[in-house]
Chains A and B, each alone.
Chain A
Amino acid sequence: MAYAEQAETEALHEPKSFLTKYIWSQDHKVIAVQYSLTALFVGLIAVVLSDLMRMQIGFPGSLAFMDASTYYQAMTMHGMIMVIYLLTALFLGGFGNYLIPLMVGARDMVFPYVNMLSYWFYLLAVVVLLSSFFVPGGPTGAGWTLYPPQSISQGTPGVEWGIVLMLVSLAIFIVAATMGGLNYVTTVLQARTHGMTLFRMPLSVWGIFMASIMALLAFPALFVSAVMMLFDKLLGTSFFMPAMISLGQQLGHQGGSPILFQHLFWFFGHPEVYIVALPAFGLVSDLISTHARKNIFGYRMMVWAIIAIGVLSFVVWAHHMYVSGMNPYFGFFFAVTTLIIAVPTALKVYNWVLTLWRGDIHLTVPMLFALAFIVTFLVGGLTGLFLGNVIVDIPLSDTYFVVAHFHMVMGVAPVLVVFGGIYHWFPKVTGRMWNDTLGKLHFWITFLGTYAIFFPMHYLGFQGMPRRYYAYENYAFIPQSAQDLNAFITVVALTVGVSQLLFLFNLAWSAFKGKPAGSNPWGAASLEWQTPNTPPIHGNWGAKLPVVYRWAYDYSVPGIEQDFVPQTVSPEELEHMRQLSAGTQIADVKT
């Protein structure tokens, strides 16, 4: 029996108690909210850590507890939390869990129990990571790349407990991500409803689908690195650790290859950029199309671009290692692949712009964030072209130009989509609208603020200001003006950090007190907005699964008065709508 038909006849794992409904829930929507809240919580910690770092850089010595070790620990935890525990978890675990079954017309993920386990493993990973704040020596201060030999050598903060907890946490996270990824991919492949062809899926699903495949293939590289480093640290092996004299003593290691770690790490690390970016691409496509009341331009091109980016992202990793020493031909190869991957990426940007062209653009809060994403991603992407070239990268390596680049492209840009996505789907999740004024205030402070933070960093980088320094005073090559700029950046960073409370307050207040949103406040055509209940109840679709007749982007269709046609409208119903619209127009002409 086809899965879609079987899903109609079988009893669902209906939750019976508070515990099974909200805690040990197997419902993808509850798991999505659990993932999202946990990720936002841990993300807030990362924001606080970044503000503490900025205080030290902008106003050196202003925080009594901020010594060099604390600074490096804050830096490491900020980076790792943002990349892995916030962005990856939120895009795949949060948006992926909520949107995939609803957008493809399924009742739930295909392995609901494994899906539940995925969240609890993720939570365990977060708990293990955060526990490193409370162990002797504190968390690791090795930098988020955890390069050996320094990461497990004496003198690095958190070398006793912190690094072990970080590696164990990562391993647990990867188990969680694998369980989630298997669910997302199998659900897309197997549980789509009647008529939901792969080329009728919204681009959000395509982005999350491809990112999940990439996560399944790339995270093992991080797992391998983590396990081998744990062996080096705990069992004294020499996978990565070379012969070393540390604090005057010859260590037991010999012959290990730190470069091998770098290759493994970046074989994961670069696809990770796109594991975050592809869902963002998908979500932003849907946001732009919906709020510009126009079908996405070049849908098939967009899908193939997602696939091409996913594949190419596995052959560019060594552009993170130009200064590690490599055969010049390898450098040339990786520079070329880096430039090639810019082609499908640029294609997406063009298509977003062409979607906007002559659209009926509604500057709603989600749309503002989507537009801000395009600009920010463009800026971050262009500086990526600089750094992708060996000859430009080498002088800029380890400067604030790099910090500015990856924060724009990998930090701010996806976070803008996170905000846009949350504002867009919040009415479906809660059934209520957020406060528009607060939302716009949040947008403008965040958007302008992040530019005020990261734009000047490009300039600082060109001036030669190195990254990862605890204190920048008394260096002849760093002028006083750089310090003034750092103070300015810090003030803005604190403002942007505090302004996120607006967002949290808006969500928390609106979830209970916001105006009722109705089932489809944006007039969106995709399937998740066509559920019989808002918020969708357990099983999503009532007695019968929806039948899909068209893609998710039928906006402003000629001859139809309503400016969107839901995916569930059949050709007969569409014809009926045409006739009604024609009748209305004739009546208008007569009057």
Chain B
Amino acid sequence: MSRLLLRNADGADPGGSWSRDPGDVQSAEGADRNQIARVGLRLFLVVVSSLFFLFLIAFIARSQMADWLPLTEPLAPLANLWQLWLNSAFLVFSCIALQWSRMAARQARLDATVIGFALGGVFAIAFLTGQLWVWQQFVAWGYFVASNPANSFFYLLTGLHGLHLLGGLIAWGIIVAKFLHRVPLSQLSAGVELCTTYWHYLLGLWFVLFALLASTPQTYEVIARFCGLR
């Protein structure tokens, strides 16, 4: 027994898997700074996913209370979704433009990179403006933030999504300023890559939010039952 217990206590180095090849320490397979930034961004997106996932769980749980008034009823603001579809189109165009910019940056085509990047930002601003327009419609129809939990969640979720995009636009603005100061493309392509990844993520997130906000109470009930919240 004591031999078994001490077997692990003989000073053995457990270095092995999950390793930078301990047998050949000089050829470390590390990452460059761009890779580090990519990892950092992906981790951040995991955090944002956790945040929105918890909001969505809260949404589903709260939607099962009796006072929930769906926004998709015939006379409610989301009965007709054309405004949100229009905004979605802006965000899709924004992502397409940024993707074009990213591909151009990889091919070192400066003009196409700049144009695509600028267009991406402009479409994103259009999306945010469109979202504010939807908010204004809500207010005009008397759907205030505290009137009903469905309204509260609509403002909260679209607002938070918008804030994240606004944060992205700050990064976008910094890179645009660097373009204007004629910083070489090779130094900016990593930033373009990161912005594009972030935009794609926010587009995916927006469609999840859109699908949820535009769903019927029956759908919420099914999800709630599936999650054990009902």
Does A pair with B? yes
Task: Report A-chain residues with C-beta under 8 Å of the C-beta of B140.
Answer: none
B166 on the interface (CB 8 Å rule)?
no
B33 touches A6 (CB 8 A): yes
Q: Chain A residues near B19: list those with CB within 8 A.
A: 197-200
Q: When the two chains form the complex, which single residue of B13, B16, B40, B149 contacts A256, counting CB atoms closer than 8 Å?
A: B149
* Contact in complex: A196, B20 (CB < 8 Å): yes
Q: Could you say which residues of chain B place their CB within 8 Å of the CB of A3?
A: 30-33, 35-36
**B156: CB under 8 A from chain A?**
yes
Q: Which B residues are within 8 Å of any A CB, using their own CB?
A: 5, 8-11, 13-20, 22, 25-26, 28-33, 35-36, 39-40, 43-44, 46-47, 50-51, 54-55, 58, 61-62, 65-68, 145-146, 149, 152, 156, 160
Instruction: Across the A-B interface, give the 5 residue pairs with the lowest CB-CB distance, nearest first.
Output: A197-B19, A2-B30, A255-B67, A195-B25, A198-B18
Q: Name the distance in Å between B63's Cβ and chain A's nearest Cβ.
A: 11
28 examples of A-B residue contacts, CB within 8 angstroms: A2-B29, A2-B32, A3-B30, A3-B31, A3-B35, A4-B28, A5-B28, A6-B33, A111-B40, A191-B36, A194-B25, A194-B28, A199-B17, A199-B18, A216-B50, A223-B51, A227-B156, A231-B145, A231-B156, A237-B149, A237-B152, A238-B149, A295-B11, A299-B14, A547-B25, A549-B22, A551-B14, A554-B13
Binary flags per residue of A167-204, CB closer than 8 Å to B gives 1, else 0: 00000000000100110011001111111111110000
Q: Which residues of A are interface residues toward B (Cβ below 8 A)?
A: 1-6, 110-111, 178, 181-182, 185-186, 189-200, 216-217, 220-221, 223-224, 227-228, 231, 235-239, 252, 254-257, 260, 263-264, 267, 294-295, 297-300, 354-355, 357, 547-551, 553-558
Q: How far apart are the CA atoms of A260 and B58 in the complex, in Å?
A: 7
Shortest beta-carbon distance, B190 to chain A, in Å? 14
What residues of chain A lie closer than 8 Å to B28, measured between beta carbons? 2, 4-5, 193-195
Which residues of B have CB within 8 Å of A256? 62, 65, 149
Residue in A193, A217, A298 whose CB lies within 8 Å of B47: A217
Q: Is the CB of B13 within 8 A of A200?
A: yes
- Among A6, A182, A224, A238: residue with most chain B CB under 10 A: A224
Residue of A nearest to B65 (CB): A255
Shortest C-beta distance, B131 to chain A (Å), equals 18
Residue ID in chain A nearest B41 by CB atoms: A182
On whether the beta carbons of A294 and B36 are closer than 8 Å, the reply is: no
The distance from the CB of B9 to the nearest CB of chain A, in whole angstroms, is: 5
Whole-angstrom distance between the alpha carbons of A448 and B18 in the complex?
43
Alpha-carbon separation in the docked complex, A217 to B50 (Å): 6
How far does the alpha carbon of A231 sit from the alpha carbon of B5 in the complex, in Å?
Answer: 57
Residues of B within 8 A of A2 (CB): 28-32
Query: Within the complex, what minimum Cβ distance (angstroms) separates A571 from chain B?
Result: 10
> In the assembled complex, how far is the CB of residue B46 from the closest CB belonging to chain A, in whole angstroms?
7
Query: How far is the CB of A181 from the nearest CB of chain B, in Å?
Result: 8
Candidates A181, A224, A263, A558; contact of B55 at CB < 8 Å:
A224
- When distances are taken between beta carbons in the complex, the residues of chain B under 8 Å from A5 are 28, 30
- Give chain B nearest CB distance to A183 CB in angstroms: 8
* Whole-angstrom CA separation of A555 from B14 in the bound complex: 14
Cα distance, A357 to B29, chains bound together (Å): 38
B51 touches A220 (CB 8 A): yes
CA distance A123 to B186 in the complex (A): 37
Are A239 and B22 neighbours in the complex by a CB distance under 8 Å?
no
B36–A110 CB distance below 8 A: yes
Q: How far apart sit A469 and B168, CA to CA, in the bound complex (Å)? A: 49
Decide yes or no: A182 and B18 within 8 Å by CB, A1-B32, A295-B9 being known contacts.
Answer: no
Instruction: Tell me the bound Cα distance from A4 to B28 in angstroms.
Output: 8
Known: A217-B50, A220-B50, A231-B152. A254 touches B17 (CB 8 A): no
Contact B30 A190 (CB under 8 A): yes
Instruction: Select which of A216, A237, A355, A548 is within 8 A of B43 by beta carbon.
Output: A216
Task: State whether B65 touches A548 (Cβ < 8 A).
Answer: no
How far, in whole Å, are A551 and B22 apart by their CA atoms in the complex? 10
**Contact B20 A197, beta carbon cutoff 8 Å:** yes
Residues of A within 8 A of B68 (CB): 255
The residue on A at minimum CB distance from B61 is A260
Q: A189 with B51: in contact, given A197-B16, A200-B22, A239-B58 (CB under 8 Å)?
A: no
Is the beta-carbon distance between A224 and B152 smaller than 8 angstroms?
Answer: no
Residues A195 and B20 in contact, CB atoms below 8 Å apart = yes
Q: Which of A1, A193, A238, A357 has the most CB of B within 10 A?
A: A238
Q: Which of A237, A263, A550 has a CB less than 8 Å from the CB of B13?
A: A550
User: Chain B residues with Cβ under 8 A from A558's Cβ?
Assistant: 10-11
Nearest to B153 among chain A residues (CB) is A239
Contact A186 B67 (CB under 8 A): no
Residues of A within 8 A of B30 (CB): 2-6, 190-192
Q: A105 CB to closest chain B CB, in angstroms?
A: 10
- Is B14 a contact partner of A182 (Cβ separation < 8 A)? no
CB distance from A332 to the nearest CB of B (A): 14
Q: Given A190-B39, A194-B25, 17 other A-B contacts at CB below 8 A?
A: A2-B29, A4-B30, A110-B36, A182-B40, A182-B43, A190-B31, A190-B36, A194-B26, A195-B28, A217-B47, A224-B51, A239-B149, A257-B61, A257-B65, A260-B61, A299-B8, A550-B13
